[in-house]
Amino acid sequence: MKFSGVKGMNDVLPALIGRWQEMEAVAREVFALYGYREVRTPEVEHAAVFARGVGEATDIVNKEMYVFEDKGEEMLALRPEGTAGTVRAFVEHGCHVEGPQKWYYVGAMFRRERPQKGRYRLFHQIGCEAFGIAEPAVDAEQIALLDDYLARMGVRAELRLNSVGDASCRPAYLADLRAWLSSRRDDLCPDCNDRIERNPLRVLDCKVESCQPVLDRAPRLLERLCPSCAAHFESVKGALDALGVAYHLDTRLVRGLDYYVRTAYEFTSSALGAQSAVAGGGRYDPLVETLGGPPTPGIGFALGQERLALILESAGRLVPERRPAIFFVTADAEGVREALRRAAELRKAGIACDIDPRGGKMKAQFRQAERVGARHAIVLGGNEVASGRAKLKDMATREETEVDLAGLVGRLRA
């Protein structure tokens, strides 16, 4: 019986893991520069955390969440995103007493979506959340962080920016939008029609070609913001200008989660096709309170690692794996024993090396040395052990030199 992986859930094999290690290492480095600290929360939460946090009316909760009953006890869910669980942890541990907090996470998320390029059922996010600061400066600083990160990854993505208002200006707009959309039902696709009542804002997000001319003329929330949301948005734009971060206003950018207020943003790349967002986020000031905490503003984003990997792949960016400095080719059992001892010595000194303890034909062992990308090979057997000297072969030039086995570490360091 041969198994295959679950649909929409991919393996990352060692040959391609370099990109993933790089994206995580650079994230840790950059995020620390901006004062973000790592948090790890479970992949599983009470389903209610997402229903309340992300919103019952969203596709993510309503259609895509993996929910299960834990042996007749309680309803749990595989996390479809990282923000709600992070906020749950923030509230549960009373972290607000320590003042503003900037956190980041790296991990697996699950959504039962229809798999296609850039859209999977298991995917990985690198996300940032900043708690306790309502000022627009933190919005701009966080967007600049993401811009900085993408630049360091060698990725060019377009920043799309919008404001989705708040409880004081959105409801009136939504009522108008709903009425406006209802009067154009015949020109809109079935999905749009479905959403007009339930989630009219999401209609603006529709990608169906024939809906575009209609939706481009829809009333714009950006023109209907209340004075405080408008002032907030102006400040965010001003701070981005001051930081030299370029953006495009996108009045139809609404995001697929219910918790957003005010600033909403996405970085998109043409290398991605239909699923063009490599990262997205925004402000979610009411969320901490919604999940039982004290009023605490927040803003965050998450970047999709699979999508970033696709961009790096399309740019032909290969991250080289660490190659062993030495590959020990063994002639006999004595050679294997000596190779193990010398390999331990080298590794203690921080020098990567490898050995094929199967022994066997030397030609095959040299081929293995080539396959793992070793810089040098050393042949070890009874003769070499007796003389304490061996041949060091440069795998690229095929040149051979004699080395003293006892002085191997020093020689390689030099």
User: 3-state DSSP call for residue 238?
Assistant: helix
Q: Minimum Å distance from CB 176 to ligand HAM?
A: 26
The answer to whether 160 contacts ligand HAM (rule: CB under 6 A) is no
Rounded to 10°, the helix 227-243/136-152 angle is: 40
3-state helix, strand, coil in the chain (%, to 5): 45, 20, 35
User: 3-state DSSP call for residue 161?
Assistant: strand
What single string gives the DSSP state of each residue in 108-137? EEE-----BTTB-SEEEEEEEEEES--SHH
Cα–Cα distance between 109 and 115 in angstroms, integer? 14
Residue choice 41, 50, 79, 83 for contact with ligand HAM (CB under 6 A): 83
Nearer to ligand HAM, 157 or 380 (CB): 157
Stretch that binds ligand HAM, among 96-104, 121-129, 138-146, 334-342 (CB under 6 A): 121-129
Stretch that binds ligand HAM, among 68-76, 304-312, 383-391, 396-404 (CB under 6 A): 304-312
The answer to whether 158 contacts ligand HAM (rule: CB under 6 A) is no
Nearest alpha carbon to residue 256 among 124, 59, 93:
59
Nearer to ligand HAM, 267 or 366 (CB): 267
Q: Minimum Å distance from CB 81 to ligand HAM?
A: 3
The answer to whether 81 contacts ligand HAM (rule: CB under 6 A) is yes
Stretch that binds ligand HAM, among 42-50, 80-88, 134-142, 230-238 (CB under 6 A): 80-88
Nearer to ligand HAM, 143 or 385 (CB): 143
Strands (E), 269-333: 277-283, 298-304, 326-330
Nearer to ligand HAM, 281 or 381 (CB): 281
Long-range (24+ apart) CB contacts under 8 A made by 154-158 are: 154/312, 154/315, 154/317, 155/269, 155/278, 155/308, 155/311, 155/312, 155/315, 156/269, 157/267, 157/268, 157/269, 157/278, 157/279, 157/311, 158/248, 158/267, 158/268, 158/269
The answer to whether 113 contacts ligand HAM (rule: CB under 6 A) is yes
- Burial class of residue 153 (count of CB atoms within 10 Å of its CB; 0-12, 13-18, 19+): buried
Q: Minimum Å distance from CB 260 to ligand HAM?
A: 7
Residue choice 304, 324, 359, 381 for contact with ligand HAM (CB under 6 A): 304
Residue choice 127, 200, 286, 324 for contact with ligand HAM (CB under 6 A): 127
Residue choice 129, 139, 141, 338 for contact with ligand HAM (CB under 6 A): 129
Distances (CA, A) of 9 to 83, 267, 306: 21, 24, 11
Task: Decide: 101 and 90 in contact? Cβ < 8 Å.
Answer: yes
Residue choice 47, 222, 288, 302 for contact with ligand HAM (CB under 6 A): 302
The answer to whether 123 contacts ligand HAM (rule: CB under 6 A) is yes
Neighbour tally for 80: CB within 10 Å: 24
Q: Which two tokens stand for residue 170?
A: 């959105």
Binding to ligand HAM (CB under 6 A): which residues in 264-293?
Answer: 277-282, 284
Q: Minimum Å distance from CB 228 to ligand HAM?
A: 21
Binding to ligand HAM (CB under 6 A): which residues in 244-263?
Answer: 256-257
Residues that bind ligand HAM (CB under 6 A): 81-83, 111, 113, 118-120, 123, 125, 127, 129, 256-257, 277-282, 284, 300-302, 304, 306-307
